[in-house]
Structure 1
Amino acid sequence: MADEDQVAAKDRKILVAVDEGEESMYALSWCLKNIISQSLKDTLILLYAKPPRAVYSSLDGSGYLFSADIMVTMDKYSNDVAASVIDKAKRICKEKADHEVKVEVKIESGDPRDVICQFADEIKADVLVLGTHGYGLIKRAFLGSVSTHCAQNVKCPVLIVKKPK
């Protein structure tokens, strides 16, 4: 009985990686319906990994291809996309959850595979939930698979949710 009380009192950290795709939002919805518990003290952590800014070099060797104004515009667009994704994810949390859910948000910059793995380990997530694009073998070979990389490199359990066709 004491063991059950300790388990019930444990705060679970459930990390859901979100991006612009429908697949990650489906995984979030699925997580809210199937994993988040009112009886447990769950914290849902939404993580958005902003892709690194592409580095371009000029042919004349000066090293600069874009003006500072263009770089500021690109950064603003990247920040707007991140805010939009997080806003959509928060809306889904309010609409789909059966009860009020404690939600935290984190936006990090870098390769999503590395960002997700490092953050999951850093916060000692109890589970990592990811959507999958369901790429075939060829596309996955060229583009890489974030979910496969995370499943192989994260220390916590990883739940990969595939959106039905």
Structure 2
Amino acid sequence: MRAIVGIDESEESFYALQWAVTNLFSAGGEPNMVTLAHVHQPSKRYGVAPSAIPAGVGVTVFPSTAVGDSERKAEEQASASILSQALEICSNKVKAETVIVEGDPKDMLCEISEHMNVDLLIVGSRGLGRIKRAFLGSVSDYCAHHAKCAVLIVKPPTKD
């Protein structure tokens, strides 16, 4: 069995990974491999090429490639840091590999799952209410309805 765990900087995604390692992966050696997937969204500050920032009436400024390169490097470092923490949770318990992609997390997790032909997609839940979920969207809800594999949504324990 192959599984993917969606990882971001949230406590909920790390809880989902920890839960899966403890309750799924440690019991009997399955899955054979887990993929830790981190999706970072394209920079909203500079957008996609060509990037243009309005600087005044009739004037448009294009950020230098140095600024874009610096921002990309910072995003890559943040992604590497997040996945490094996730790999520590997996160490000595399950074989893990990592993948970093850019795009909308809900779309990319479904695409990665299909492309890698996985059996199970595991995502954490932030526990948004109906109203917040309607406005903010829900990665776990979207994946549950659109992924072509089984989806496990791990909810964190309720805080009393």
Query: TM-score, normalising length from structure 1?
Result: 0.83
The offset of 1:73, in angstroms, is 1.8
Distance 1:39 1:68 in 2: 47
- SS of 1:49's equivalent in the other structure is strand
Cα 1:62/1:115, change in 2 over 3 Å: same
Gaps of 5+ in 1: 1-11
Corresponding position of 2:4 = 15
Distance 1:87 1:49 in 2: 14
Corresponding position of 2:52 = 57
The offset of 1:79, in angstroms, is 0.5
**Partner AA of 1:42 in structure 2:** N
Is 2:101 aligned against 1:108?
A: yes
Cα 1:41/1:23, change in 2 over 3 Å: closer
The offset of 1:148, in angstroms, is 0.5
Gaps of 5+ in 2: none
Matches within 5 A, 1:1-165: 12-36=1-25, 37-40=27-30, 42-54=32-44, 55=47, 57-59=52-54, 60=58, 62=60, 64=62, 66-94=63-91, 100-164=93-157, 165=159
Distance 2:152 2:31 in 1: 19
The offset of 1:107, in angstroms, is 0.7
Cα 1:71/1:32, change in 2 over 3 Å: same
Q: What is the aligned residue count?
A: 149
Residue identity (%): 37
2:39 touches 2:105 (CA, 8 Å); kept in 1? yes
**Partner AA of 1:58 in structure 2:** I
2:7 touches 2:36 (CA, 8 Å); kept in 1? yes
Distance 2:138 2:59 in 1: 34
Q: Which has the higher helix share?
A: 1
CA-based RMSD: 1.7
Distance 1:42 1:110 in 2: 27
Distance 1:92 1:39 in 2: 16
The offset of 1:142, in angstroms, is 1.8
Distance 1:48 1:29 in 2: 16
The offset of 1:42, in angstroms, is 1.8
- SS of 2:118's equivalent in the other structure is coil
Query: TM-score, normalising length from structure 2?
Result: 0.85
